[in-house]
Structure 1
Amino acid sequence: MNAPLSAASAARPGQTRVPCTVITGFLGAGKTTLIRALLEKADGRRFAVIVNEFGDVGIDGELLKSCGVASCPGENIVELANGCICCTVADDFAPALDRILALPQGVDHILIETSGLALPKPLVQAFNWPEIRNRVTVDAVIAVADAAALAEGQVAHDMEALAAQRAADESLDHDDPVEEVFEDQLACADLVVLTRTDLIDAAGLEKARAHVAAHVAAGVKTIAAANGDVDPVALIGLGHAAEDQIEGRKTHHDDELDHEHDDFDSFVVDLADPQSPEDLAARVQAATGVDNVLRIKGFARVAGKPMRLVVQAAGPRVSHYFDRPWRADEAAATRLVVIGLNGLDRTAVEAALKA
């Protein structure tokens, strides 16, 4: 399965292959925050970004475009919203890469933010296609993990223990796809960034580190961060050429011919403008309590406020902030994307959000 690329020059003068960093991680781990921090500390590098959304509203892409940093102008950000990037490599990723490599100014580095549900291995394997391999290389696969969630045991790492628990409680499923996706992301990582470390104590951080250590390859380092504040030197220019090593990274899905995310669902909810950020946050938090809801994110127009409100929820934690004024060329409205396991009660979620 090959996808043609144009013959346009991709690199800056003297540059052979453009390095790419694949940034993967579980839902709400902080991938977009990390990328924004990298762009703001570009130190002269010219970046491009490929953002893989899950759902019909490009929240993460909009957040990156609103950065307004010279290192990565809007035309250097490509959004893929037709499904999980690991399932649409030929149809979506290869053309997106071609578009970036054809930019007349050239780029120094490409950041690829996968969907929270994506498996990095099929994506990295695509870098070995002849039409792609001679133009780009995977500088590193970085897995972003929520240390606070891990410290609370929200992502199980011992599948045998989980199976034992299932014997006593039928509500537990040892084949939970969320667990497998998370573990596969760690298995393919060259570096792990633990985020939200400011929310836990030293014991919680050690618990999170221990969880990660159980699933990463030998020698993979773990670094801690708060609010995406990591020195770019630790993330960029690592030179791992991960495509050369990816076959040796064993994952849950190695024996599967195809990978589909039939276990996940997403939908968009349009809401009346809230009276206050706190009002909307309370309703979002209530909606996260509905069975099988994994994440809620979106933008809101608060009554009487000219600024756009960003709302994000992963589990019971809800964050919100005003990021910029609404532009004259966009429809100011309140729209949220709900992501969850297949079978989630859409009626119950909408009722909570519209209460």
Structure 2
Amino acid sequence: QPLVRAFNWPEIKRRVTVDGVVTVVDAKALAEGSFADDEEALARERAADPTLDHENPIEELFEDQLACADMVIVNKTDLLAGGEQEGVSGLLRNKVRPGTRLVATRHGAIDVNALLGVGAMAEDDMDNRLSHHEMEGEEQHDHDDFVTFIVSLGEIADRAGLLGRIERTIAAHDILRLKGFVAVAGEKSRLLVQAVGPRLNAYFDRPWAPGEQRSTNLVVIGEKYMDRAAIEAALCG
């Protein structure tokens, strides 16, 4: 919401408008409950200590983005099984504003014409796009509960070993997202690595360019309490 509101600044508003707000959702991560708390666990904690504040920054940010969206791209639907797609669609319908379009995609493939010409003029419609805190009558605040840092390594001799360390590190430290490129010794192409929660994908995407430095750089995204030193040590092996 703060980003869209910025388009109301006079020096910006007279030049551009927000045609529409598009939010992309990882359907498989949503089906696995990655954006919500374990309600049973929270109930037990509240029973033990009613003063606990269980604000979930991931779920809050997720709801804020859905509340502001004119269109939701539900990606990775090919990974859903059985009735998961119906469940994901139902969950999203309960969180978006009336009239918001849900578009199912695979591998992010969508005609660009479907994204343009929405004509929502979103910056003039912010009263209908209230954030999580605004709906509860609280003051708006920045989502500063997340941190991002880069782990840099040299060439990797053992591809499988690194991928195994990545999987174990994600599980041990509740990393939300990990992505980057790996230089594998003896390979002419760079290895692209992407992880959302426990799901890890890796494939060679393109050859290293002449003169390009062969190095490994992994971007780690998670909540601010993460132990950066421990994560770096685990990935380095």
Q: 2:43 aligns with which of 164, 169, 172?
A: 164
Task: Tell me if 1:127 matches 2:10.
Answer: no
Displacement, 1:163? 5.1
Displacement, 1:298? 1.2
Q: 1:141 aligns with which of 7, 21, 25?
A: 21
Displacement, 1:157? 7.8
Task: Tell me if 1:271 matches 2:153.
Answer: yes
Match of 2:206 in 1: 324
Match of 2:231 in 1: 349
Match of 1:190 in 2: 70
Contact persistence 1:166–1:173 (CA under 8 A): no
Displacement, 1:143? 0.9
Match of 2:122 in 1: 242
Match of 2:176 in 1: 294
Match of 2:139 in 1: 256
Contact persistence 1:142–1:192 (CA under 8 A): yes
- What secondary structure is seen at the aligned counterpart in 1 of 2:19? strand
Runs of at least 4 residues of structure 1 off by over 6 A?
Answer: none
Q: Which runs of 5+ in 2 are unaligned?
A: none
Displacement, 1:188? 0.3
d(CA) in 1 for partners of 2:3, 2:94: 23
- Correspondences of 1:74-223 after superposition (within 5 Å): 121-156=1-36, 164=43, 166-167=45-46, 174-223=54-103
d(CA) in 2 for partners of 1:168, 1:230: 47
Contact persistence 1:298–1:311 (CA under 8 A): yes
Contact persistence 1:198–1:226 (CA under 8 A): yes
Task: Tell me if 1:231 matches 2:89.
Answer: no
Q: Which amino acid aligns with 1:278?
A: A
Contact persistence 2:72–2:101 (CA under 8 A): yes
Displacement, 1:168? 5.4
Displacement, 1:202? 4.2
- What secondary structure is seen at the aligned counterpart in 2 of 1:338? strand
Match of 1:24 in 2: none
Q: Which is helix-richer, 1 or 2?
A: 2
Contact persistence 1:296–1:313 (CA under 8 A): yes
- What secondary structure is seen at the aligned counterpart in 2 of 1:266? strand
Instruction: State the Cα deviation string for residues 123-161 of structure 1 (Å, max 9, x = none).
Output: 1111111111121111111111111111122222898x7
Contact persistence 1:156–1:162 (CA under 8 A): no
Q: Which amino acid aligns with 1:185?
A: Q
Q: Which amino acid aligns with 1:203?
A: G
Instruction: State the Cα deviation string for residues 177-208 of structure 1 (Å, max 9, x = none).
Output: 11101110001000111111101124101111
Match of 2:166 in 1: 284
Contact persistence 2:155–2:214 (CA under 8 A): no
CA change 1:271–1:311 in 2 (3 A) is same
d(CA) in 2 for partners of 1:162, 1:229: 37
Q: Which amino acid aligns with 1:324?
A: R
CA change 1:199–1:328 in 2 (3 A) is same
d(CA) in 2 for partners of 1:202, 1:125: 40
What TM-score, normalized by structure 2, do the two folds share?
Answer: 0.87
- What secondary structure is seen at the aligned counterpart in 1 of 2:149? strand
Match of 1:88 in 2: none
Contact persistence 1:194–1:225 (CA under 8 A): yes
CA change 1:328–1:234 in 2 (3 A) is same
Contact persistence 1:150–1:207 (CA under 8 A): no
Displacement, 1:329? 4.6
What TM-score, normalized by structure 1, do the two folds share?
Answer: 0.60
Contact persistence 1:162–1:174 (CA under 8 A): no
Q: Which amino acid aligns with 1:177?
A: P
d(CA) in 1 for partners of 2:55, 2:228: 23
d(CA) in 2 for partners of 1:196, 1:287: 24
